[in-house]
Chains A and B, each alone.
Chain A
Protein backbone atom coordinates (compact mmCIF):
# COMPACT_ATOMS: atom_id res chain seq x y z
CA UNK A 1 0.00 0.00 0.00
CA UNK A 2 1.36 3.42 -0.89
CA UNK A 3 2.11 5.65 2.06
CA UNK A 4 0.69 9.16 1.94
CA UNK A 5 3.40 11.76 1.46
CA UNK A 6 3.14 14.84 3.61
CA UNK A 7 5.31 17.91 3.17
CA UNK A 8 5.33 20.45 5.97
CA UNK A 9 6.86 23.84 5.32
CA UNK A 10 7.85 25.78 8.44
CA UNK A 11 7.44 29.47 7.71
CA UNK A 12 9.43 30.94 10.59
CA UNK A 13 12.64 32.85 9.87
CA UNK A 14 14.05 31.82 13.25
CA UNK A 15 16.84 29.30 13.56
CA UNK A 16 15.99 25.63 13.86
CA UNK A 17 14.52 24.61 17.19
CA UNK A 18 13.55 28.15 18.17
CA UNK A 19 10.12 28.73 16.73
CA UNK A 20 6.56 27.97 17.72
CA UNK A 21 5.84 27.16 14.08
CA UNK A 22 8.48 24.44 14.07
CA UNK A 23 7.20 23.00 17.36
CA UNK A 24 3.70 22.81 15.88
CA UNK A 25 4.98 21.29 12.65
CA UNK A 26 6.98 18.64 14.50
CA UNK A 27 3.95 17.68 16.55
CA UNK A 28 1.87 17.29 13.40
CA UNK A 29 4.67 15.36 11.72
CA UNK A 30 4.69 12.94 14.63
CA UNK A 31 0.98 12.36 14.23
CA UNK A 32 1.29 11.87 10.48
CA UNK A 33 4.17 9.42 10.89
CA UNK A 34 2.28 7.57 13.59
CA UNK A 35 -0.53 7.17 11.08
CA UNK A 36 1.83 5.62 8.57
CA UNK A 37 2.54 8.63 6.36
CA UNK A 38 5.91 9.60 5.01
CA UNK A 39 6.72 13.11 6.21
CA UNK A 40 9.19 15.74 5.06
CA UNK A 41 9.65 18.91 7.13
CA UNK A 42 11.34 21.77 5.31
CA UNK A 43 12.34 25.14 6.67
CA UNK A 44 11.40 28.15 4.59
CA UNK A 45 14.22 29.18 2.30
CA UNK A 46 16.17 31.68 4.40
CA UNK A 47 19.16 31.70 2.06
CA UNK A 48 16.96 32.34 -0.98
CA UNK A 49 19.33 30.12 -2.96
CA UNK A 50 17.75 28.56 -6.02
CA UNK A 51 18.73 25.07 -4.88
CA UNK A 52 16.52 25.40 -1.81
CA UNK A 53 13.61 26.59 -3.94
CA UNK A 54 14.12 23.55 -6.14
CA UNK A 55 14.14 21.31 -3.09
CA UNK A 56 10.75 22.65 -1.98
CA UNK A 57 9.28 22.35 -5.45
CA UNK A 58 10.53 18.78 -5.78
CA UNK A 59 9.05 17.86 -2.42
CA UNK A 60 5.69 19.46 -3.25
CA UNK A 61 5.71 17.74 -6.61
CA UNK A 62 5.27 14.31 -5.04
CA UNK A 63 3.24 15.31 -2.00
CA UNK A 64 -0.29 14.19 -1.31
CA UNK A 65 -0.59 16.95 1.29
CA UNK A 66 1.41 20.19 1.41
CA UNK A 67 0.95 21.94 4.73
CA UNK A 68 2.31 25.34 5.72
CA UNK A 69 2.90 26.11 9.39
CA UNK A 70 3.74 29.78 9.79
CA UNK A 71 3.76 32.76 12.10
CA UNK A 72 1.68 35.83 11.36
CA UNK A 73 3.70 38.90 10.40
CA UNK A 74 1.95 42.27 10.13
CA UNK A 75 -1.47 40.68 9.70
CA UNK A 76 -0.42 38.32 6.93
CA UNK A 77 2.34 35.97 5.86
CA UNK A 78 6.04 36.66 6.40
CA UNK A 79 8.08 37.72 3.39
CA UNK A 80 9.92 34.39 3.08
CA UNK A 81 6.62 32.49 3.02
CA UNK A 82 5.09 34.90 0.50
CA UNK A 83 8.15 34.48 -1.68
CA UNK A 84 7.95 30.68 -1.49
CA UNK A 85 4.27 30.74 -2.41
CA UNK A 86 4.92 33.05 -5.36
CA UNK A 87 7.60 30.68 -6.65
CA UNK A 88 5.43 27.65 -6.07
CA UNK A 89 2.53 29.23 -7.92
CA UNK A 90 4.73 30.19 -10.84
CA UNK A 91 6.60 26.96 -11.22
CA UNK A 92 4.88 23.96 -9.73
CA UNK A 93 3.74 21.11 -11.89
CA UNK A 94 0.05 20.77 -11.19
CA UNK A 95 -1.04 17.28 -10.27
CA UNK A 96 -4.57 16.15 -9.46
CA UNK A 97 -5.78 15.53 -5.92
CA UNK A 98 -2.98 17.37 -4.17
CA UNK A 99 -4.16 19.03 -1.02
CA UNK A 100 -2.98 22.13 0.81
CA UNK A 101 -3.62 23.00 4.45
CA UNK A 102 -2.25 25.61 6.79
CA UNK A 103 -1.70 26.50 10.41
CA UNK A 104 -1.02 30.14 11.30
CA UNK A 105 0.03 31.24 14.76
CA UNK A 106 0.22 34.79 16.06
CA UNK A 107 1.49 36.72 19.04
CA UNK A 108 -1.89 38.25 19.81
CA UNK A 109 -4.08 36.22 22.15
CA UNK A 110 -6.89 36.10 19.59
CA UNK A 111 -6.57 33.39 16.96
CA UNK A 112 -9.10 35.37 14.94
CA UNK A 113 -6.31 37.77 14.00
CA UNK A 114 -4.88 35.02 11.77
CA UNK A 115 -8.01 34.93 9.63
CA UNK A 116 -6.73 37.20 6.87
CA UNK A 117 -3.56 35.13 6.48
CA UNK A 118 -5.69 32.00 6.14
CA UNK A 119 -7.84 33.73 3.52
CA UNK A 120 -4.66 34.52 1.56
CA UNK A 121 -3.64 30.88 1.78
CA UNK A 122 -7.03 29.71 0.56
CA UNK A 123 -6.63 32.06 -2.43
CA UNK A 124 -3.20 30.55 -3.04
CA UNK A 125 -4.67 27.06 -3.07
CA UNK A 126 -7.36 28.12 -5.54
CA UNK A 127 -4.85 29.80 -7.84
CA UNK A 128 -2.42 26.92 -7.87
CA UNK A 129 -4.79 23.99 -8.30
CA UNK A 130 -4.49 22.56 -4.79
CA UNK A 131 -7.54 21.25 -3.02
CA UNK A 132 -7.93 23.48 0.04
CA UNK A 133 -7.96 21.15 3.03
CA UNK A 134 -8.56 23.89 5.57
CA UNK A 135 -6.76 26.23 7.90
CA UNK A 136 -6.08 26.38 11.62
CA UNK A 137 -5.27 29.43 13.71
CA UNK A 138 -3.55 29.68 17.08
CA UNK A 139 -3.28 32.78 19.24
CA UNK A 140 -0.72 33.33 21.96
CA UNK A 141 1.91 31.45 19.98
CA UNK A 142 4.90 32.78 21.95
CA UNK A 143 3.62 30.80 24.95
CA UNK A 144 5.00 27.74 23.15
CA UNK A 145 8.31 29.41 22.26
CA UNK A 146 9.77 26.51 20.28
CA UNK A 147 9.24 23.91 22.99
CA UNK A 148 7.80 20.47 22.21
CA UNK A 149 4.06 20.58 22.85
CA UNK A 150 4.14 17.38 24.85
CA UNK A 151 6.31 19.05 27.49
CA UNK A 152 3.95 21.95 28.11
CA UNK A 153 1.33 20.06 30.06
CA UNK A 154 -2.17 21.36 30.56
CA UNK A 155 -1.55 24.64 28.77
CA UNK A 156 -1.38 22.85 25.42
CA UNK A 157 -3.73 19.96 26.11
CA UNK A 158 -6.47 21.42 23.92
CA UNK A 159 -3.87 22.42 21.30
CA UNK A 160 -2.66 18.83 21.03
CA UNK A 161 -6.22 17.52 20.96
CA UNK A 162 -7.10 19.92 18.15
CA UNK A 163 -4.00 19.02 16.15
CA UNK A 164 -4.68 15.31 16.70
CA UNK A 165 -8.18 15.75 15.32
CA UNK A 166 -6.92 17.79 12.37
CA UNK A 167 -4.14 15.31 11.58
CA UNK A 168 -6.50 12.34 11.73
CA UNK A 169 -8.89 14.02 9.30
CA UNK A 170 -6.10 15.00 6.92
CA UNK A 171 -4.77 11.44 6.94
CA UNK A 172 -8.22 10.21 5.98
CA UNK A 173 -8.16 12.60 3.04
CA UNK A 174 -10.76 14.84 4.67
CA UNK A 175 -10.60 18.58 5.33
CA UNK A 176 -9.74 19.90 8.77
CA UNK A 177 -12.97 19.72 10.78
CA UNK A 178 -14.47 22.94 12.11
CA UNK A 179 -14.42 21.41 15.58
CA UNK A 180 -10.61 21.23 15.41
CA UNK A 181 -10.45 24.82 14.18
CA UNK A 182 -12.63 25.97 17.07
CA UNK A 183 -10.70 23.95 19.62
CA UNK A 184 -7.31 25.28 18.51
CA UNK A 185 -8.61 28.84 18.52
CA UNK A 186 -9.37 28.60 22.24
CA UNK A 187 -6.86 30.71 24.14
CA UNK A 188 -4.15 28.89 26.09
CA UNK A 189 -4.74 31.33 28.94
CA UNK A 190 -7.03 34.34 29.55
CA UNK A 191 -6.11 37.30 27.35
CA UNK A 192 -5.61 39.57 30.36
CA UNK A 193 -3.07 37.13 31.84
CA UNK A 194 -1.34 36.65 28.49
CA UNK A 195 -0.93 40.38 27.90
CA UNK A 196 0.21 40.99 31.47
CA UNK A 197 2.85 38.25 31.22
CA UNK A 198 3.90 39.48 27.77
CA UNK A 199 4.28 43.06 28.95
CA UNK A 200 6.43 41.92 31.87
CA UNK A 201 8.41 39.75 29.50
CA UNK A 202 9.23 42.66 27.19
CA UNK A 203 10.46 44.72 30.13
CA UNK A 204 12.55 41.81 31.37
CA UNK A 205 14.18 41.30 27.97
CA UNK A 206 14.84 45.01 27.67
CA UNK A 207 16.36 45.01 31.13
CA UNK A 208 18.70 42.17 30.15
CA UNK A 209 19.74 44.30 27.18
CA UNK A 210 20.04 47.36 29.43
CA UNK A 211 17.53 49.35 27.42
CA UNK A 212 14.58 49.18 29.81
CA UNK A 213 14.64 52.97 30.24
CA UNK A 214 14.61 53.45 26.47
CA UNK A 215 11.74 51.15 25.57
CA UNK A 216 9.49 53.97 24.44
CA UNK A 217 12.07 55.90 22.48
CA UNK A 218 10.91 57.58 19.30
CA UNK A 219 13.98 57.47 17.05
CA UNK A 220 12.22 59.11 14.15
CA UNK A 221 10.37 61.70 16.21
CA UNK A 222 12.48 64.60 15.06
CA UNK A 223 11.14 64.21 11.56
CA UNK A 224 7.55 63.27 12.40
CA UNK A 225 5.15 65.30 10.32
CA UNK A 226 3.10 67.87 12.18
CA UNK A 227 -0.21 67.50 10.35
Chain B
Protein backbone atom coordinates (compact mmCIF):
# COMPACT_ATOMS: atom_id res chain seq x y z
CA UNK B 1 0.00 0.00 0.00
CA UNK B 2 1.19 3.48 -0.77
CA UNK B 3 0.30 6.60 1.14
CA UNK B 4 1.18 10.20 0.46
CA UNK B 5 0.89 12.86 3.13
CA UNK B 6 0.32 16.37 1.79
CA UNK B 7 1.25 18.69 4.61
CA UNK B 8 -0.23 22.14 4.04
CA UNK B 9 1.17 23.67 7.22
CA UNK B 10 2.62 27.14 7.44
CA UNK B 11 6.17 27.64 8.68
CA UNK B 12 6.59 26.98 12.38
CA UNK B 13 3.45 24.87 12.79
CA UNK B 14 4.69 22.27 15.24
CA UNK B 15 1.31 20.59 15.60
CA UNK B 16 1.08 19.81 11.88
CA UNK B 17 4.70 18.68 11.89
CA UNK B 18 3.99 16.29 14.76
CA UNK B 19 0.85 14.98 13.09
CA UNK B 20 2.77 14.33 9.88
CA UNK B 21 5.40 12.35 11.77
CA UNK B 22 2.82 10.38 13.76
CA UNK B 23 0.81 9.61 10.63
CA UNK B 24 3.93 8.45 8.81
CA UNK B 25 4.87 6.20 11.72
CA UNK B 26 1.38 4.76 12.03
CA UNK B 27 1.07 4.16 8.29
CA UNK B 28 4.48 2.50 8.12
CA UNK B 29 3.41 0.39 11.07
CA UNK B 30 0.61 -1.14 9.00
CA UNK B 31 2.88 -1.79 6.09
CA UNK B 32 2.41 1.34 4.00
CA UNK B 33 5.13 2.86 1.91
CA UNK B 34 4.82 6.51 2.94
CA UNK B 35 5.83 9.69 1.16
CA UNK B 36 5.65 12.99 3.03
CA UNK B 37 5.37 16.20 1.05
CA UNK B 38 5.74 19.47 2.94
CA UNK B 39 4.04 21.72 0.43
CA UNK B 40 5.49 25.03 1.58
CA UNK B 41 8.96 23.67 0.79
CA UNK B 42 8.02 22.86 -2.79
CA UNK B 43 8.07 25.17 -5.79
CA UNK B 44 4.42 25.24 -6.78
CA UNK B 45 2.99 28.08 -8.83
CA UNK B 46 -0.69 28.90 -8.50
CA UNK B 47 -3.25 27.62 -10.98
CA UNK B 48 -3.95 30.15 -13.74
CA UNK B 49 -7.25 28.56 -14.72
CA UNK B 50 -6.02 28.03 -18.29
CA UNK B 51 -7.44 24.46 -18.64
CA UNK B 52 -4.18 23.47 -20.33
CA UNK B 53 -4.19 20.27 -18.24
CA UNK B 54 -7.33 19.33 -20.14
CA UNK B 55 -6.93 20.65 -23.67
CA UNK B 56 -3.21 21.32 -24.27
CA UNK B 57 -1.20 18.73 -22.35
CA UNK B 58 -3.90 16.31 -21.27
CA UNK B 59 -3.47 15.15 -17.68
CA UNK B 60 -0.41 17.28 -17.03
CA UNK B 61 -0.28 20.92 -16.02
CA UNK B 62 1.61 22.91 -18.66
CA UNK B 63 3.38 24.82 -15.89
CA UNK B 64 6.35 22.62 -15.04
CA UNK B 65 7.27 22.70 -11.38
CA UNK B 66 6.93 20.57 -8.27
CA UNK B 67 3.15 20.32 -8.68
CA UNK B 68 3.71 17.49 -11.14
CA UNK B 69 5.41 15.36 -8.51
CA UNK B 70 2.61 16.08 -6.04
CA UNK B 71 -0.02 15.06 -8.58
CA UNK B 72 1.93 11.99 -9.59
CA UNK B 73 2.28 10.89 -5.96
CA UNK B 74 -1.40 11.57 -5.35
CA UNK B 75 -2.52 9.45 -8.29
CA UNK B 76 -0.15 6.56 -7.53
CA UNK B 77 -1.23 6.28 -3.89
CA UNK B 78 -3.83 4.10 -2.23
CA UNK B 79 -4.34 6.74 0.44
CA UNK B 80 -3.86 10.50 0.25
CA UNK B 81 -3.65 12.25 3.59
CA UNK B 82 -4.23 15.99 3.82
CA UNK B 83 -2.77 17.64 6.90
CA UNK B 84 -3.74 21.28 7.27
CA UNK B 85 -4.68 24.00 9.67
CA UNK B 86 -8.41 24.57 9.27
CA UNK B 87 -8.69 28.05 7.76
CA UNK B 88 -12.23 29.46 7.96
CA UNK B 89 -13.49 25.90 7.54
CA UNK B 90 -11.29 25.23 4.52
CA UNK B 91 -7.74 24.29 3.68
CA UNK B 92 -4.65 26.38 4.16
CA UNK B 93 -3.46 28.35 1.15
CA UNK B 94 -0.43 26.06 0.89
CA UNK B 95 -2.59 22.97 0.53
CA UNK B 96 -5.05 24.76 -1.72
CA UNK B 97 -2.26 25.80 -4.07
CA UNK B 98 -1.29 22.17 -4.61
CA UNK B 99 -4.84 20.87 -4.93
CA UNK B 100 -5.77 23.59 -7.44
CA UNK B 101 -3.04 22.26 -9.72
CA UNK B 102 -4.52 18.75 -9.65
CA UNK B 103 -7.48 19.38 -11.95
CA UNK B 104 -5.82 17.26 -14.62
CA UNK B 105 -6.43 14.06 -12.66
CA UNK B 106 -9.97 14.13 -14.01
CA UNK B 107 -11.23 14.62 -17.55
CA UNK B 108 -12.87 17.83 -18.71
CA UNK B 109 -15.98 15.88 -19.72
CA UNK B 110 -18.96 15.77 -17.46
CA UNK B 111 -20.83 12.89 -15.92
CA UNK B 112 -23.50 12.57 -13.26
CA UNK B 113 -22.78 11.28 -9.77
CA UNK B 114 -25.78 11.03 -7.46
CA UNK B 115 -27.72 13.26 -9.83
CA UNK B 116 -25.10 16.01 -9.78
CA UNK B 117 -22.70 16.99 -12.56
CA UNK B 118 -19.01 16.22 -11.99
CA UNK B 119 -15.95 15.53 -14.10
CA UNK B 120 -15.32 12.06 -15.45
CA UNK B 121 -12.50 9.88 -14.19
CA UNK B 122 -9.23 9.97 -16.04
CA UNK B 123 -7.82 6.97 -14.19
CA UNK B 124 -9.32 3.67 -13.12
CA UNK B 125 -8.30 4.10 -9.50
CA UNK B 126 -7.94 7.00 -7.14
CA UNK B 127 -6.67 7.16 -3.57
CA UNK B 128 -8.91 7.17 -0.55
CA UNK B 129 -8.86 10.55 1.17
CA UNK B 130 -8.07 11.23 4.82
CA UNK B 131 -8.03 14.82 6.02
CA UNK B 132 -6.63 15.82 9.38
CA UNK B 133 -7.61 19.35 10.23
CA UNK B 134 -5.87 21.25 13.00
CA UNK B 135 -8.05 23.70 14.89
CA UNK B 136 -7.21 26.28 17.54
CA UNK B 137 -10.47 25.66 19.37
CA UNK B 138 -13.73 23.83 18.86
CA UNK B 139 -15.90 25.59 16.29
CA UNK B 140 -18.81 23.51 15.08
CA UNK B 141 -19.55 25.64 12.02
CA UNK B 142 -15.95 25.47 10.83
CA UNK B 143 -15.70 21.77 11.45
CA UNK B 144 -18.96 21.05 9.60
CA UNK B 145 -17.75 23.17 6.68
CA UNK B 146 -14.41 21.35 6.61
CA UNK B 147 -16.13 17.96 6.68
CA UNK B 148 -18.38 19.00 3.81
CA UNK B 149 -15.39 20.26 1.84
CA UNK B 150 -13.56 16.95 2.18
CA UNK B 151 -16.71 15.04 1.24
CA UNK B 152 -17.12 17.20 -1.88
CA UNK B 153 -13.45 16.71 -2.78
CA UNK B 154 -13.87 12.96 -2.34
CA UNK B 155 -16.61 13.02 -4.96
CA UNK B 156 -14.62 15.12 -7.41
CA UNK B 157 -11.43 13.13 -6.82
CA UNK B 158 -13.39 9.85 -7.19
CA UNK B 159 -12.05 8.71 -3.83
CA UNK B 160 -13.36 5.25 -2.85
CA UNK B 161 -13.57 6.39 0.79
CA UNK B 162 -12.90 9.47 2.85
CA UNK B 163 -12.55 10.43 6.48
CA UNK B 164 -12.03 13.60 8.48
CA UNK B 165 -10.36 13.94 11.86
CA UNK B 166 -9.74 17.07 13.90
CA UNK B 167 -6.86 17.75 16.23
CA UNK B 168 -6.90 20.71 18.57
CA UNK B 169 -3.65 22.49 19.13
CA UNK B 170 -4.01 22.10 22.88
CA UNK B 171 -4.73 18.36 22.71
CA UNK B 172 -2.43 16.27 24.82
CA UNK B 173 0.12 14.24 22.88
CA UNK B 174 -1.61 10.99 23.78
CA UNK B 175 -4.96 12.34 22.59
CA UNK B 176 -3.42 13.35 19.28
CA UNK B 177 -1.75 9.98 18.85
CA UNK B 178 -5.05 8.23 19.56
CA UNK B 179 -6.77 10.33 16.90
CA UNK B 180 -4.04 9.56 14.36
CA UNK B 181 -4.05 5.84 15.16
CA UNK B 182 -7.83 5.70 14.86
CA UNK B 183 -7.72 7.48 11.52
CA UNK B 184 -5.02 5.25 10.09
CA UNK B 185 -6.73 2.07 11.29
CA UNK B 186 -10.06 3.23 9.93
CA UNK B 187 -8.66 4.03 6.50
CA UNK B 188 -6.24 1.14 6.06
CA UNK B 189 -8.17 -1.76 7.54
CA UNK B 190 -10.45 -2.11 4.49
CA UNK B 191 -7.43 -1.89 2.20
CA UNK B 192 -5.50 -4.52 4.08
CA UNK B 193 -8.55 -6.75 4.11
CA UNK B 194 -8.86 -6.42 0.37
CA UNK B 195 -5.17 -7.07 -0.28
Contacts and interface: CB of A to CB of B under 8 A. Distances in A.
B76 A202 contact: no
A123 B89 contact: yes
B130 to A, nearest CB: 15
Nearest to B125: A224
Interface string B117-160: 11000111101000000000001011011001100110010000
A80 B107 contact: no
A198 interface: yes
Contact of B91 (A82, A112, A124, A214): A82
A79 B59 contact: no
Contacts of B168: none
A120 interface: yes
Nearest to A14: B49
Interface stretch (B12-20, B23-31, B92-100, B171-179): B92-100
Contacts of A109: 117
Interface in A100-124: 108-110, 112-113, 115-116, 119-124
Interface in A187-227: 191, 195, 198-199, 202, 205-206, 209, 211, 214-221, 223-227
A83 interface: yes
Interface string A24-53: 000000000000000000000010000000
B103 A209 contact: no
Nearest to B86: A123
Interface residues of B, number: 59
Given A13-B49, A74-B99, A109-B117, A215 B58 contact: yes
Given A14-B48, A116-B149, A206-B55, A224 B75 contact: yes
| Main secondary structure on B side of the interface with A | mixed
Contacts of B77: 225
Interface in B66-98: 71-72, 75-78, 87-93, 96-97
A131 B133 CA distance: 26
A25 to B, nearest CB: 16
Contacts of B100: 73-74, 78-79
Contacts of B125: 224-227
A76 B124 CA distance: 25
Given A227-B78, A227-B195, A13 B156 contact: no
B81 to A, nearest CB: 15
A216 B55 CA distance: 10
B7 interface: no
A64 B172 CA distance: 43
A198 B87 CA distance: 33
A71 interface: yes
8 contacts: A73-B100, A80-B46, A116-B152, A120-B145, A209-B56, A215-B55, A215-B107, A220-B59
Given A124-B88, A211-B56, 13 more contacts: A13-B46, A75-B152, A76-B149, A82-B93, A82-B96, A83-B93, A108-B118, A110-B116, A112-B116, A120-B88, A205-B55, A227-B78, A227-B191
Q: 9 tightest A-B contacts by CB?
A: A123-B88, A79-B97, A202-B108, A205-B55, A75-B152, A82-B93, A83-B93, A195-B110, A219-B59
